[in-house]
Amino acid sequence: MFNSLKAARSLIPLCIFLILALVLYQGLKQDPSLLPSAMVGKPVPKFKLATVNDSNQFYTEEIFRGKISLLNVWATWCISCRMEHNFLNKLAADGSIQLIGLDYRDRLAAVEQWQHALGDPYKYDLFDEEGRVAIDLGVYGTPETFIIDPQGIIRYRHVGIIDQAAWENDLLPVIEKIRGRG
Amino acid sequence: MLRKFILISCIYCCSIFAASDNYTFADPKQQQLFVNLTQNLRCLVCQNQNIAESNAPLAQDLRREVVELINANKSETEIIEFLVSRYGEFILYKPEFNQHNYLLWLGPGIMLLIGGFICFRTIRQQSQVET
């Protein structure tokens, strides 16, 4: 009796080690660069921005009213944006959702080249030269994509490239949920 | 002598900011607020640097934002609220105590209590064996 108690007690360090190992192993799988957004559930911040193609044409947050929109924060210097651009072109061709681009800290000459070479999926090409609207959106890197409902509320934020898998697993379910209610 | 000098300059290096842009304020209190804030706000791109030290474009933008808020006579809490409402608590190097992070705040104390208890018990047992 006494011996088995002693044996059980000697297993305690092993148990602690296993629990710790499990916790730390879970930690390894997390990507520390993925941060939760504080903006989900809040309305799109107020803005007034020109487009990349016309510095006299201004738009405000009103463009989000009445439609489900995808707000894609991108830049020509962002390699990942180049990688997801094709998929965005496909989404635009499909036409089921309004795509709005927010060009972040960019040079217009580079944007013109980009549009020429890779196409332009956005209905509105907003130009955030100084990154002010990006700060209001809590953006910390490109690409970031927000799903915004017809009431102008941010419903989801996706960090990183949108591809078929991310679209089907992460973004489409949110959009379908909004559609179901609206 | 030379070794002493190198050693001392190494220590002082740590407290010099690497940030390239310089903002000056008319009021030294505002200057102090700016230094305090930017040293305690995390750059979200290079997460182990504060926004005073980082040269990431986002850190530059955030410094500019902090300067503008200070010049608009916003208080320290107002500026922190402004940033937390956009970037979340992660931007604070010293987050508020709340239900998500209470274990992190209290953990060391709890560990100390457990360790102290084990220590106390072991010492008492040992001294009993000796006597």
- pLDDT, mean of residues B54-71: 92
Chain A residues near residue B44 by CB distance under 8 angstroms: 35, 140-141
**Contact call for residues B40 and B92 (beta carbons, < 8 A):** yes
Contact between B86 and A38 using a beta-carbon 8 Å cutoff = yes
pLDDT at residue A151, rounded to an integer? 95
Residue B131 has pLDDT above 70, yes or no: no
Residue B19 has pLDDT above 60, yes or no: no
The answer to whether A34 contacts chain B (CB < 8 Å) is no
- pLDDT, mean of residues B32-38: 92
Is the peptide bond preceding residue A143 cis, with omega within 30 degrees of 0? Answer: yes
Residue B58 has pLDDT above 80, yes or no: yes
ipTM for the complex shown: 0.78
pLDDT at residue A66, rounded to an integer? 93
Contact between A33 and B85 using a beta-carbon 8 Å cutoff = no
Round to whole Å and give the CA distance between A123 and A32: 33
Give chain A's mean pLDDT.
Answer: 92
Residue A63 has pLDDT above 80, yes or no: yes
The answer to whether A39 contacts chain B (CB < 8 Å) is yes
Q: What share of chain A is helix, strand, coil (3-state, %, to 5)?
A: 45, 20, 35
Round to whole Å and give the CA distance between B49 and B30: 22
Q: Which residue has the tokens 């997390």?
A: A30
**Residue A67 one-letter amino acid:** K
Q: What is the pLDDT of residues A3-27, one digit of tens each?
A: 788 888 889 999 999 999 999 998 8
pLDDT at residue B73, rounded to an integer? 92
Residue A57 has pLDDT above 90, yes or no: yes
Residue A139 has pLDDT above 70, yes or no: yes
Residue A150 has pLDDT above 50, yes or no: yes
Chain B residues near residue A137 by CB distance under 8 angstroms: 86
Q: H/E element holding A145?
A: strand A144-148
Contact between B44 and A105 using a beta-carbon 8 Å cutoff = no
The answer to whether A130 contacts chain B (CB < 8 Å) is yes
The answer to whether A136 contacts chain B (CB < 8 Å) is yes
Look at A136 and B4; give whichever has higher pLDDT.
Answer: A136
Secondary structure (3-state) at B63: helix
The answer to whether A38 contacts chain B (CB < 8 Å) is yes
- pLDDT, mean of residues A131-150: 94
The answer to whether B57 contacts chain A (CB < 8 Å) is yes
Round to whole Å and give the CA distance between A74 and A101: 7
**Contact call for residues A69 and A13 (beta carbons, < 8 A):** no
Look at A33 and B71; give whichever has higher pLDDT.
Answer: B71
Of B45, B61, B90, the CB nearest to A135: B61
The answer to whether B46 contacts chain A (CB < 8 Å) is no
Q: What is the pLDDT of residues B99-121, one digit of tens each?
A: 878 888 899 999 999 999 999 99
Of B45, B47, B88, the CB nearest to A38: B88
Contact between A135 and B85 using a beta-carbon 8 Å cutoff = no
Contacts (Cβ under 8 Å, ≥6 apart) of B90: A35, A36, B42, B44
Of B58, B84, B90, the CB nearest to A35: B90
pLDDT at residue B15, rounded to an integer? 47
**Contact call for residues B49 and B91 (beta carbons, < 8 A):** no
Contact between A39 and B86 using a beta-carbon 8 Å cutoff = yes
Residue B86 has pLDDT above 90, yes or no: yes
Contacts (Cβ under 8 Å, ≥6 apart) of A89: A118, A119, A121
C-alpha angle A23-A24-A25 in degrees, rounded to nearest 5 = 90
Full-model pTM? 0.79
- pLDDT, mean of residues A92-117: 94
Contact between B57 and A131 using a beta-carbon 8 Å cutoff = yes
Residue A141 has pLDDT above 90, yes or no: no
How many contacts, defined by CB atoms under 8 Å, are there between A and B? 42
